Structure formats: C-alpha cells, structure tokens
Amino acid sequence: MKLAVIGTGYVGLVSGVCFAHKGNEVICVDLEQYKIDMLNRAESPIYEPGIEELISLNMEAGRLEFTSDLADAVRRSDIVILAVGTPSLANGEANLSYIEQAAADVGKAMNGYKIIMTKSTVPVGTNQKIKDVVAAHTNLSFDIVSAPEFLREGSAINDTLHPDRVIIGLDNAGLRETMVTLHQVFTDKIYVTDIRSAEMIKYASNAFLATKISFINEIANICEKVGADVTCVAEGMGMDKRIGSSFLQAGIGYGGSCFPKDTNALIQIAGNVDYEFKLLKSVVEVNTDQRFMIVSKLRESLGQLHGVPIGIWGLAFKPNTDDIREAPALEIVETLIQAGAVLKLYDPIAMDKFMEHVNHPNIVWCSSPQQAAEGSDAVCLLTDWEEFKKVDLVQLSSVLRNPVLIDGRNVFTEEQIQRSGLEYYSVGRPRMN
Ligand code: NAD
C-alpha cells in the first residue's frame, strides 16, 4: 500500500519505517527541515535502538522516502497517517493545534479518495473534529480511522513489529478488510471497534498502567514504615495472573511524553462531561510526590544541601531513550539547584536534550558515572540504564567523598550493597537502608 506518515517523531518515524519494512511504499513527512535532511542521510533525529539500520535498509530498497512536502506525499498516497504531537496545554487538556493543522494541510492537498488514519493520542471526539477540518478543505471523499499507538520508546521497533494488539476504530465497516490487511503483517490480534471507543482505549490503557505504578509506589512508601520489602511484595502479587507482574516496579514514578499528559488529559476529558475522575487525580498526585523522595532522602542523610556536590545518574525518563519530556530528573535537578547543591550530571544518551532545557552555573556535565561520583557527597540514580547496574560499588564507595547512594529505581541487590560499604537508600526496601 502507499502510505504518507505525517510527523517523524517517535511514533511516526518508527511506524513509517516498520510499515516500509513490511513491503509498503512509505513517505514520511515533517515540518522540521533539519529532521528531513538528517533522515535523507539515514541519520535518525531521535535515539531509538535499531532505527538507523532499518532506515538505511528500506531507503535502499526504494520503499522509504523523507520529505517536507506534505502535499506531494499526500497526493502520492492512498492512506495518510497522522502522527504529530498532542502535548499538554497549561490546563492539562491535549493541544490539538498540530493535528488540526495537519488535517487542514491534508484536506487542501487531496487529489482523490484517501483513508486518513490517526495514530496520535487524541481525546474522544477528536477524529470527528479531524473529519470536519478535512471536509472544510476538500469536496473529495475520504474516511477517518482511529489507530492509537501503544509502542514504548526504547523498544519501539520491536513493539511495532510484534504488538500485543492493534486497535482500529472505524465508522465505515467497508474499511475493515483494508485495515486488517495493513496491520496483520504485525499481528493477528486486531480489535476493530467504533472510533470513540478506540480513542478511549488508548487513554484508559495508559491511565491504568499509570495507576499500577502509583499503586505500587504507595505500597512501597508503606513498606518503608512497616518493615516489608516492596520488591518481594510486587513479586508475590505479580504471580497472580489477575494482577500480572508488569508495571509493579516501585521507584520515583513515571515520566515521559505519554503517561503524564494522557492521565491529565483523561482527567480533563472526564471533567468536560462533569465527571470527577477521583482515582486518576490521586494517581497523578502520588506520582508528583514520589520523585521528591530523592530530595528528602538526601536531606535526611546530608542535612542542608547548600554547596554540597551531588552526582546524578540518569536524566532520561526511562532507559534506552533520549526523551526527557516530563522526566522526574527535571524537577529533581531544579529542586536541588534551588537548595544550592552542586550537581554533577551524567546520562549515557540524554545529556544533549537535557542541556537544551536546563542550565545553571551549579551544574557540571560529566562524561561517565565515575566522574559524576568522584568527590561527591552522594550519588542519586534516577534512570535504570544498564550501565549503572554494572558499576563496581566497592570502587564507587572509594571515590565518593561521602559514600551515600540513593537508588530511585531499586536497581541494586542486597548482596551488592552489603559488600559495598555504601550508605544506601532505595524505595520501599527498608532493611537495605
Ligand atoms: P514527537 O513530538 O516526537 O513528534 C511529532 C512530530 O510531528 C515532530 O517531528 C513535528 O515536527 C511533527 N509535526 C508537527 N506538526 C506537523 C505537521 N503539520 N506536518 C508535518 N509534521 C508535523 O511526538 P511523538 O512522541 O512521536 O508522539 C506523537 C503522538 O503519538 C502523540 O499524540 C503521542 O501522545 C502519541 N504516542 C506517543 C508515544 C511515545 O512513546 N512517544 C507512544 C504512543 C503514542
């Protein structure tokens, strides 16, 4: 099939590349010329393991193109996929200006019947708006499909090639076969429903996963006070198939470009129809508080933080991505700077993106975990990159001025800590403190 993908971010680029990899002819479009220039050199503007190899392979096979000419891409395609951003507005609602602009541009460019498929996460009713916007710019016929995306940054290619399921929302049953054919190269688990339900499935899924995280974090906070170990509690809970073991890792909470914005958007979606989503409001509140556990443990251990050198390991919101959107590190770093601490920051991939957003004379940018630790009064682990798990803790203890390790992701085992000589704090594992 001939596809145009609008937006070459984490979702659009990975989807476009994977659709091409399965034999479709794909043209990826972005407004940002520098991204298109990079992509035309087979360089990825985002960090995603394996993406550059797949870009090269599919460009060479003649199935994948990159352009900033949206109109040309639309005219040469049968299916147009909308994958632009839907970030939060100040009140938590989704900002639909990018998707509305893209819909208008698609409408203006149309030269015949098209299927317009929305992959961006959009509030219930948005696909109807997209339909109205496109219709305002063309008299040609078209159909709208909702195909919300569930990939995770860091494992986006594998998630796209082998998804747990594909959700398709339609209001024209005649499209079912085309949509199934397009997606069954990835999986047979294709659930077809109406558009509004498909839109809601995306928000409900992310809200549910965020709820699991905040739930286990509250259990961890109680474990700290009653002397239980949250990793054992989570393991025991997860053995029950009705609960499942995923998303039960206690830590400093979720971040990223999806959970924070989608939970807030769902609270707003509910509020707009006079429904107060009390449970989800608490999930968000718990998550916001949880990241400050790092600051309180630092104060508990070191007292006042003015002038105190502190190493920070990990800035990305999770490992294997350079994405720092809503990363807990942003607020933690800001709070510690306000307290006058001197911060030695290190992340294997996300340093450049972090530097674009945060700068202060109290920040020292480091090129290794060891450099961030040397002479510091504590190290705080904020992202569970594999690199940190491999650090020799005995050596770490010897290079720190004061051997304190605050593990915000429960990365280290009791055995590792016992041998290390470190004063150690983690989340919900009080016997290791
Ligand atoms: P992103 O910000 O990384 O990328 C969006 C891209 O769209 C940018 O490169 C931007 O330049 C481009 N763009 C904006 N308007 C455009 C236009 N009119 N024409 C052409 N290009 C345009 O966003 P993302 O992380 O890929 O997310 C996209 C959508 O997918 C969002 O709704 C998000 O909630 C959803 N989603 C994201 C993830 C994730 O892990 N990132 C997972 C599932 C769903």
Give residue 418 CA to ligand 1 midpoint distance, Å: 45
| CATH code given to domain 2-193 | 3.40.50.720
HEC letters along 227-286? CCCHHHHHHHHHCCCCCCCCCCCCCCCCCCCCHHHHHHHHHHHHHHCCCCCHHHHHHHHH
Q: What are phi and psi of 352, to 5 degrees?
A: -60, -45
Q: Is the CB of 96 under 6 A from ligand 1?
A: no
At 311 the pLDDT is: 98
pLDDT band at 48 (very low <50, low <70, confident <90, very high): very high
Residue nearest to atom 14 of ligand 1 (CA): 84
Catalytic residue among 223, 258, 366, 380: 258
pLDDT band at 374 (very low <50, low <70, confident <90, very high): very high
pLDDT band at 60 (very low <50, low <70, confident <90, very high): very high
Question: Residues 203, 262: contact at Cβ < 8 Å?
Answer: yes
Give residue 17 CA to ligand 1 midpoint distance, Å: 15
Domain at 202-288, CATH class: mainly alpha
Give residue 54 CA to ligand 1 midpoint distance, Å: 19
Q: Is the CB of 199 under 6 A from ligand 1?
A: no
Does this complex have an ipTM over 0.90?
yes
> What are the structural domain ranges in the chain?
2-193, 202-288, 291-432
Dihedral angle, C-alpha 129, 134, 140, 146, nearest 10 °: -60
At 61 the pLDDT is: 98
Q: pLDDT tens, 108-148?
A: 999 999 999 999 999 999 999 999 999 999 999 999 999 99
Through-space distance between the first and last CA atoms of the chain, rounded to whole angstroms: 58
Q: Is the CB of 121 under 6 A from ligand 1?
A: yes
Residue nearest to atom 25 of ligand 1 (CA): 10
Q: Which of 15, 18, 30 is the pocket-test mutation for ligand 1 (most atoms within 8 Å of CB)? A: 30
pLDDT band at 324 (very low <50, low <70, confident <90, very high): very high
How many Cα neighbours within 13 Å face the side chain of 135? 9
Region 47-51: mean pLDDT is 95
Give residue 7 CA to ligand 1 midpoint distance, Å: 6
At 36 the pLDDT is: 98
How many angstroms separate the Cα of 290 from the Cα of each of 315, 335, 379, 385, 395?
16, 14, 18, 20, 29
Locate tokens 């203006």: which residue?
108
Q: Which tokens belong to 396? A: 């770490």
Contacts of 66 (CB under 8 A, 6+ apart): 8, 27, 28, 29, 30, 36, 39, 40
**Ligand 1: nearest atom to the Cα of 13:** 26
The one-letter code for the residue type at 395 is Q
The C-alpha atoms of residue 132 and residue 370 are separated, in whole angstroms, by 56
At 155 the pLDDT is: 96
Q: How many CB atoms lie within 10 A of CB 268?
A: 17
Residue nearest to atom 12 of ligand 1 (CA): 7
Q: pLDDT tens, 289-310?
A: 999 999 999 999 999 999 999 9
pLDDT band at 92 (very low <50, low <70, confident <90, very high): confident
The one-letter code for the residue type at 34 is Y
Q: Which tokens belong to 56? A: 């090269």
Region 70-94: mean pLDDT is 95
How many angstroms separate the Cα of 393 from the Cα of each of 343, 346, 402?
20, 17, 13
**Ligand 1: nearest atom to the Cα of 98:** 15
For residue 432, is pLDDT > 90? no
Give residue 131 CA to ligand 1 midpoint distance, Å: 19
Region 10-24: mean pLDDT is 98
At 40 the pLDDT is: 98
Q: Which tokens belong to 419? A: 């041998």
Of 3.20.20.60, 3.40.50.720, 1.10.3660.10, 3.30.365.10, which CATH number belongs to 291-432? 3.40.50.720
At 271 the pLDDT is: 96
Domain 202-288 matches domain 291-432 at the CATH topology level: no
Question: Residues 261, 326: contact at Cβ < 8 Å?
Answer: yes
Q: Is the CB of 7 under 6 A from ligand 1?
A: yes
**DSSP helix/strand/coil, 88:** strand
Closest CA relative to residue 167, chosen from 141, 142, 186: 186
Region 5-13: mean pLDDT is 97
Q: Is the CB of 146 under 6 A from ligand 1?
A: no
Region 26-52: mean pLDDT is 97
For residue 353, is pLDDT > 90? yes
Region 266-277: mean pLDDT is 96
At 204 the pLDDT is: 98
Contacts of 271 (CB under 8 A, 6+ apart): 277
Q: What are phi and psi of 88, to 5 degrees?
A: -80, 145
Closest CA relative to residue 190, chosen from 137, 131, 148, 234: 148
At 263 the pLDDT is: 97
Q: Is 258 a catalytic residue?
A: yes
